[in-house]
Amino acid sequence: MQMSCLPVSLYADISAGRRTLADWFRFAAELGLDGADISVAHLPGRDAASLAPIRRQAEDAGVVIPMMVTYTDFTHPDSAIRARQTDELRSCIEAATHLGVGYLRVTAGQKHPGVQREEGIAWASAGLTACVADATAAGVTLCYENHTIGYGWTEYDFSLPSDIFLEIVEHTEGSGLQLLFDTANNLVNGEDPLPVLEAVIDRIAVVHAADMARKGVFEPTVVGTGVSPLAAIFRSLRQHGFDGWLSVEEGSKTGEAGFRQGIPLVRALWEAAGADSE
């Protein structure tokens, strides 16, 4: 297992220019991580010339960029906007190839007012699978997440309820679309993540180790200190032979302290789960 981190707590600083991606890569290396995940929102461009320096900065720091998160919104009621989301994803795939990124996080879309369950599921399933062939040809894996809310979104994810998420997973079976399982997002909807994990475990390519302070509320906390059943989730993953990237989603907004506390906690829980499953 290799470990990376998505630095949600640093998003505001990166967006405002108070930190650079190079700063993030150096901090990730200092934390002992193998990789440093990034958001598409922080790219200076999508072309090779714009992204070559970013890739070099990661290499110079001694980390790779295993995953980039995108914010695809395939549930928008306007068909023209949904089509543009497909074009946007294709540009993200191209950017991933320039950065050496192997995984792209994709999302169903927002819970737009008036969108009915069946049409939203159909639109999301079509959008999420539209670019799988392009991604595969480029050596990139698309990973659909059981997601809460995207950076810059105004609504929760249409597929936050686990029954909708699982129906989309079923509709995309056999398409080549893989999954990014988040250990905390189901808690926001008042649900237990373990049954969701067990239902989709064979398609999980990447895991977000995340945590919430309380069930039923979107309140990210330092990973390992909240109510996410990380020990049980990690035991299940290890028993099923998961050996992909484990990415700590640090969104506690506690500054560098959140990273320094949460990453060792996740590492220790993962190692303990291995001992328990032997």
pLDDT given at position 277: 56
Cα–Cα dist 80/72, whole Å: 14
Tens of pLDDT, residues 89-119: 999 999 999 999 999 999 999 999 999 999 9
Angle at 82 between CA 199 and CA 180, to 5 degrees: 25
Say which DSSP state 249 is in.
E
Angle at 102 between CA 156 and CA 60, to 5 degrees: 110
Structure tokens at 4: 């990376």
Q: What are phi and psi of 37, to 5 degrees?
A: -75, 160
pLDDT over 60 at 278, yes or no: no
Cα–Cα dist 209/187, whole Å: 13
- Segment 42-69 shows an average pLDDT of 98
Are 160 and 218 in contact by the 8 Å Cβ rule? The answer is: no
Average pLDDT across the chain, whole number? 97
| Structural domains in the chain plus CATH codes | 2-277 (3.20.20.150)
Strands 141-145 and 103-106: parallel
Start-to-end CA distance of the chain, whole Å, equals 16
120 — pLDDT class (breaks 50, 70, 90): very high
pLDDT over 90 at 275, yes or no: no
